[in-house]
Amino acid sequence: MPALALGIWLQGFGAANADGLAPLTGQPGDPSRGEALLLDMQRVSCLICHRISSLDERDQGQIGPALDGVASRLDNMELRQRIVDARVFNPDTIMPPYYSVTGLVDVADLYRGRTIYDAQEVEDVVAYLLTLTEEANR
Amino acid sequence: MRRRCLSALLALAFCQPVVAEELRSGYTYMEPATQAMQDDDFLNPGFFLVDEGLRLWRQPMGPAGQSCADCHGPVEREMKGVAARYPVLDAGTGKLVNLERKIQLETARMGAEPLAYESPEILSLTTLISYQSRDMPMQPEITPQLQPFLDRGRKIYEQRRGQLNLSCPQCHVDHAGDKLRGDVISQGQVNAFPIYRLLWGEPGSRHRMFEWCMQSIRARPFERGSDEFIELELYLVQRGAGLVIEAPGVRR
């Protein structure tokens, strides 16, 4: 019964559709924890590559697009999918997968089999990014 | 007929559009203060290695009591241009060697105490020898025998790896000049090594930098002095061919 199995899976956590991914956990993300995570440079911060003007942080990257107003462009599912594994949209993306170990090569012992964020951390960062609307940016 | 085919082939080869990346030494990405530090031999914190290297060059090693200088002669004359064409195939072992490995092989042959890859002795001697090629363009001679090593080096360069799933060119080609956090990404050229790196507070080899880069993307690095890192080194020397040797360089 593959159709039924797929149906059950789609209702579960982390279910994917063409554009996005459903929440990974039953606990809603906490935007303040997400912001704290983002400011922690030891945790592969988004700011290494992206810019968020509202944050009081001098050194921000310019590798990826600025995240100002990102919540007005992408919904929670689209944001989540990009953080979990942006290769779904572009296999050659420079963006590291934050919640996937698929296809990784020669990972250092300390990190082998582990994802950059855990599921709840993904939810926290998504919750924080959802506060970055165009209105909030004005 | 055969000649005509050949010339047609050659014409085709030369007519291919070449998208050449403009070569830029890491020097050009540095703050003026760091550039000034490299430019002034008295301020350059890597320069002491040249003096120390010269002392070692003349120091007898091994049971025969011979020094590098006893066989080679004056380093200024005999080592000029050598660093600019390394890595090379070592005739004795048939292996690809860089300066560090070559010095290890030579001192072992002399029966001297083994020198560790990143030891102060090796760093001093490689700095001394590289300094003799200062301002000379890196120019490896890619023979047919060297081609497979170069190809492997390129594969290592282009392989995405580590938890961050990055290849070298994704940053050092696609985003050279862009800011990663507060730092500008360079092309990752190797013409200034050994460098004194301010972040380390000490000098380091090309392979130490490769290791640092791979650790930064949470990948398992190859060993310093490994075949893989020497192949990568060869590829990078070829990629940067034409850039002049700056040793001893100073980097952020």
pLDDT at B56: 98
For A:82-101, CB contacts with B below 8 A are: 94, 96-97, 101
Maximal CA-CA distance, chain B = 64
Please report the DSSP string for A35-99 in residue order: HHHHT-GGG--GGGT---TTS--S----SS---TTGGGTS-HHHHHHHHHHGGGT-TT-SSPPSS
Question: What angle, 0 to 180 degrees and rounded to 10, lies between the N-to-C axes of helices A31-38 and A119-129?
Answer: 100
Predicted confidence (pLDDT) per residue in A32-77, tens digit? 999 999 999 899 999 999 999 999 888 999 999 999 999 999 999 9
pLDDT of res. B20: 58
The answer to whether A111 contacts B163, with C-beta atoms less than 8 Å apart, is: yes
CA atoms within 13 A on the CB side of B192: 27
Cα first-last separation, chain A = 51
φ/ψ of residue B155, rounded to 5: -65, -40
Closest CA relative to residue B99, chosen from B77, B69, B121: B121
CA–CA distance, B100 with B237 (Å, rounded to integer): 15
Report yes or no: B247 and B133 within 8 Å, Cβ to Cβ. Answer: yes
Query: For A99-138, what is each residue's pLDDT tens digit?
Result: 999 999 999 999 999 999 999 999 999 999 999 999 877 6
Whose structure tokens read 């709840």? Answer: A120
Whole-structure pTM value = 0.90
Query: Taking the mean position of all CA atoms in its chain, how far away is CA A109?
Result: 24
Question: Does the domain spanning B48-131 belong to CATH 1.10.760.10?
Answer: yes
Of A128 and A8, more confident: A128
Residue B248: DSSP 8-state: S
Return the amino acid letter for B2: R
- Least Cα distance to B131 among B7, B3, B250, B248 occurs for B248
Q: Quick one: tokens of B120? A: 């102060």
CA atoms within 13 A on the CB side of B211: 12
Candidates B155, B158, B163, B222: best to mutate against A (most CBs of A within 10 A) is B163
* Count of Cβ atoms closer than 10 Å to residue B191 Cβ: 27
Per-residue model confidence as pLDDT tens digits over B166-219: 999 999 999 999 999 989 999 999 999 999 999 999 999 999 999 999 999 999
| Three-point CA angle A80, B158, B194, nearest 5° | 115
The domain A2-137 having CATH identifier 3.30.465.10: the answer here is no
User: By percentage, how much of chain A surpasses pLDDT 70?
Assistant: 89
Spans in chain B with pLDDT lower than 70: 1-21
Q: Where are the beta strands (DSSP E) in B129-206?
A: 179-180, 183-184, 195-197, 202-204
Q: Does B218 touch chain A (CB under 8 A)?
A: yes
Question: Where in chain B are the domains?
Answer: 48-131
Residues paired with B97 in a beta bridge: B88
Instruction: Report, as residue numbers or ranges, the catalytic residues of B.
Output: 213
- Domain range list for chain A: 2-137
Which of A94, A100, A112 to probe the B interface (max B CBs under 10 A)?
A94
Q: Which residue(s) pair with A129 in the sheet?
A: none
Q: What is the per-residue pLDDT for A19?
A: 80
Give the Cα-Cα-Cα angle B131, B135, B140 (nearest 5 degrees): 85
Q: How would you classify residue B77: left for phi > 0, otherwise alpha for psi between -120 and 50, otherwise beta?
A: alpha
CA distance A90 to B210: 27
- CB pairs < 8 Å spanning A and B: 72
